[in-house]
Amino acid sequence: MEKYILIIGACGQIGTELTMTLRKKYGNDHVIASDIREGNETLMNSGPFEILDATDSNALEEIIAYYEISEIYLMAAMLSATAEKFPMRAWNLNMNSLFNVLNLGKEKKVDKIFWPSSIAVFGPNTPKEATPQNTIMEPSTVYGISKQSGERWCEYYFKNFDVDVRSIRYPGLISWKTMPGGGTTDYAVEIYHKALEEGTYNCFLKKDTVLPMMYMDDAIKATLQIMEADAEDIKVRSSYNLAAMSFKPEDIAQNIQQHIPDFTITYEPDFRQAIADSWPSSIDDSDARADWGWKADFDLDKTTATMLSNLKKNKAEAE
């Protein structure tokens, strides 16, 4: 039986790259992209696309039936910084979209579901260093509350309705292909763009704020890896810790200066500092390593070199 995959939120930072990777792997016509708006030209021209409001269960069911979808990747969400400005809108999108997808699994209309959680599930009372898989979780942001609630519902639907839902807690993600979408870790993408365009960057976090980060290629690799693992190997049905590297803005600035010696950075913390302060500085992902063989490929040096190389290339092509 042929596999047909639906990506919900395909035009976002993760969704765009995930869609293109899955199309390369399974064939363009087998991966249906959807979002509430159209995406970039590459994504739109590479395969089927549907306008979809993730909170509209009827529209979602129509697409599932029409394309005979067997797997869903639910990437639609309002991220941390934006969600603080629009709390009820964020709760509605983040939670109702998840219920719509989980209910499709409960009704056996789809076989497998991926839903991303985040380090935002942790809070100020969580152990900061090597945050364990199972620990105190008292999120202090709308985004974190919705993700923690989502984790509990995922495990509930697995235990009570045998829904094959899989999840990982993404750290901050870094990519040159798409701009970030309103998260607290966005500085780690913006800084590379500003370094090349202006030679300076005004950071919205303090210079010594250590946060877990990951290059996008690793995040996509982990997503495919957990979805391709045998069901019996997925022992955590809430969400897996996932780690690659941890650094502070000062570290990334010094790393950039190795490539652009004249680069300068200033610091002007805003409301996102309080969000960052509530999150861990490093993550223990030993369960993911043991259960389905997770291992990151990118450290900060490799990330910086890759980001600057590709952004320079893009800039040269645009000119």
Specify the amino acid at residue 166.
R
Phi-psi region of 236 (alpha: psi -120 to 50; beta: other; left: phi over 0): beta
Q: pLDDT value at position 193? A: 95
> Catalytic residue numbers?
143
Gap between the Cα atoms of 143 and 146, Å rounded: 5
Q: Do domains 5-170 and 173-213+244-318 have the same CATH topology?
A: yes
What share of the chain has pLDDT > 70, as a percent?
A: 100
pLDDT tens for each residue of 246-277: 999 999 999 999 999 999 999 999 999 999 99
Phi-psi region of 108 (alpha: psi -120 to 50; beta: other; left: phi over 0): left
Element (H, E) at 50: strand 49-51
Gap between the Cα atoms of 77 and 145, Å rounded: 13
- Across the beta sheet with 71-74, the strand order is 49-51, 31-35, 5-8, 71-74, 112-114, 165-166
Q: pLDDT value at position 221? A: 98
Gap between the Cα atoms of 189 and 175, Å rounded: 7
User: Average of pLDDT values for 39-43?
Assistant: 91
For residue 127, what are the CA distances in angstroms to 104, 131, 287? 36, 6, 17
Cβ-proximal residues to 288 (8 Å cutoff; 6+ apart), any chain: 168, 222, 226, 240, 241, 242, 294
User: Average of pLDDT values for 225-230?
Assistant: 98
Q: Which CATH class is domain 5-170?
A: alpha beta
pLDDT tens for each residue of 106-136: 999 999 999 999 999 999 999 999 999 999 9
Q: pLDDT value at position 102? A: 98
- Across the beta sheet with 240-241, the strand order is 117-118, 168-170, 240-241
Gap between the Cα atoms of 186 and 178, Å rounded: 11
DSSP string, 53-71: -TT-HHHHHHHHHHHT--E
Q: Where do the structural domains in the chain lie, given as residue ranges?
A: 5-170, 173-213+244-318
Average pLDDT over all residues of the chain: 95
Q: How many CB atoms lie within 10 A of CB 235?
A: 10
pLDDT tens for each residue of 9-25: 999 989 999 999 999 99
Per-residue 3-state assignment (H helix, E strand, C coil) for 6-39: EEECCCCHHHHHHHHHHHHHHCHHHEEEEECCCC
Q: Are strands 245-247 and 211-215 parallel, antiparallel or unpaired?
A: antiparallel
Alpha helices in the chain (DSSP H): 13-26, 41-46, 57-67, 80-85, 87-106, 142-161, 187-197, 216-228, 249-257, 272-277, 286-292, 300-318
Q: pLDDT value at position 19? A: 97
Q: pLDDT value at position 315? A: 83
Q: Is the confidence at residue 92, as pLDDT, over 70?
A: yes
CATH assignment, 173-213+244-318: 3.40.50.720
Q: pLDDT value at position 1? A: 66
For residue 293, what are the CA distances in angstroms to 81, 86, 137, 306? 32, 38, 25, 24
Of residues 105, 115, 15, the one with CA closest to residue 60: 105
pLDDT tens for each residue of 170-217: 999 999 987 777 788 899 999 999 999 999 999 999 999 999 999 999
Phi, psi of 174, rounded to the nearest 5 degrees: -120, 125
